[in-house]
Chains A and B, each alone.
Chain A
Amino acid sequence: MRPPPLDFLFPQGIGTDLIYSFVIILCSLMVYHATKEMYELSSYKGLKYFRQAFLFFAAAYFFRYFIQFFLVFFNIQDILEFSPRYIGWISLFLFLFSSSMAVFYLLYSVMWKKWNHSKSRILLFNLLALIIAWIGSSFRGIGVSLVLNLILLVFVSFVLFIAYKDKRKGKSLFIIYLLLFIFWALNVIDILIPKFLQWYNLLIYLSSIGLFMIILYKVLKKAGN
């Protein structure tokens, strides 16, 4: 017997979600690949964090839908006797962990020189991402999710604002990153509370794709690929 689908697995319009995830994964992997040679030649830390951010974005969107898609559509859970609810929890956990790490790495790629590069900071990011993933996947209430995302969004925006407030250059990058973080938070809320933003779903998807496309365009233009 086919198990009942979970709202996280297939909320509404699985086709739209799959295309959306696929486009974001493709953009992220293209950014990662386009910067490979520059990093291999220079071993520059800022480049390393920038690339890792996009690798984590790709991983996050892979976990978001593709794992469930493959498991359910190819009936792998019947063969391996997985519980789909358990798979849903793991996928959500991995999505929240990867997307949080992506945001932290993107922020760190801009801030690493000011924050004095240290391994303990990366460990702290991992720990924070694990806590966010655990809270988000275990307590899927509206209040917890909203508060968690708002705190993170305020923190990330504040750090970005401090970093760019005195700079003449880089204002467009500040706006792009800020919008990316806002849409990341909306994406997380959209997954944790599917009905909360359902009328704005398509708008969130299109705006997120637009932002990734802008970043990819800038990367390809500057990387000379």
Chain B
Amino acid sequence: MLGAQGPVFGRMKELALKSGSWGATLQVRVYVDERVAAEDFKAGQCDAVLLTGMRARQFNAFSGSIDSIGGLPDYPSLKRLLETLTRPEAAALLTQGNYEVGGILPLGAAYIFIRDRRINSVAKMAGRKIAVLDYDKAQLRMAERIGAQAVASDVTNFAGKFNNGMVDVVAAPGVAYMPLELYKGVGTKGVVLKLPVAQLTFQLLLHKDKFPAGFARQSRQFLLADFDSYLSVIKAAEEDILFFFPPPDGDAGKYEDMMREARISLTREGIYDRRMMSLMKRVRCRQHPANAECSDSREVTP
């Protein structure tokens, strides 16, 4: 998924080929550290950048909130949301200052990986060490909420910390499982909780003034057209996950409630965008209208 031979890089190369017909030619440059890529983009050394949704949040709070805790429960919901965002009326929301979102790709649901399956409830996570990406305030707040010890990490070292026992818990997408050998950290005593805690995305950000009018809209549609093929790669990766179990019977609702309260709190704090939370609630309730949250007005922007 992620490497130079993976579908994401392949699609970026296709985008670069196609871009000429939309009035701007792209050259693709590969970075090993997305923090550096984001900084170079900010400094104007690149006109566009592909970042994880959490990192993209600084450039567009609305789209960067797609990756929120418990925001979308499944892939059909994500696809429905992304289709909604290609509508003309969503275009203004995908522009923030001189930054415009040129496309959003699925990276896969984030799941909780635990070294010891006896940590079988939120309460038992208190006091345990959890790796959090140091640039994502939401993860830090979540760790605080559940009473866990946050261990600042980044995408290059969180897996190593989990596998060698420096942390007890990490969140990661299925596509990271084999390449980062997360099965070593789970071992035969751990578990991977089959409950999406976030839908992770890649987002293409553009310096709006560097591209002709309409470029971003075409780019968004182009990248969305391949949603199902990215999803097949993601699902194939999830098929490899050992000890991949849903929460113990009766506990799924507690996790969902906990994530919902966290999301509401983080929105109140300004970390998540209120408009995206409202949109995602409409998507969730369209897919699953019987859910309890669908009968209250929380997370709805009038």
Do A and B bind? no
